[in-house]
Amino acid sequence: MIVRPATDGDDRLAIGQVYVDSWRAAYRGLITQAYLDGLYARNWLGVLDAPQRTSFLLLDGDIIAGTCSCGPARSPEMAGWGEVVSLYLKPAYWGRGLG
């Protein structure tokens, strides 16, 4: 497994697809199927554009297994600290101690 910074272009849609795959698996039966079916990778592009946020990819060879987004803490009480904003793995990688 390799971790590398995400880049613009294909990485952005790949990150969005990790979110979609994770949501569809994790929230099946908890959120309506119609809502989950309406999720698309492009829905997350705006999230990836958040200022001062950096995204990383977890690679299993050429396969994107997961993604992590981090940046300055969003809470004013935590000024000067960092925060992991999101951490998602494709369902096939759940339970392996990677998160």
Residue 20 is predicted with a pLDDT of 96
Q: Which domains does the chain have, with CATH numbers?
A: 2-93 (3.40.630.30)
Q: 85 in helix, strand or coil?
A: strand
The tens digit of pLDDT for each residue in 10-52 reads 788 899 999 999 999 999 999 999 999 999 998 888 777 777 8
> Buried (b) or exposed (e) across 10-29, using 16+ Cβ within 10 A?
ebbeebbbbbbbbbbeeeee
How would residue 70 be classed by pLDDT, with cut points 50, 70 and 90? very high
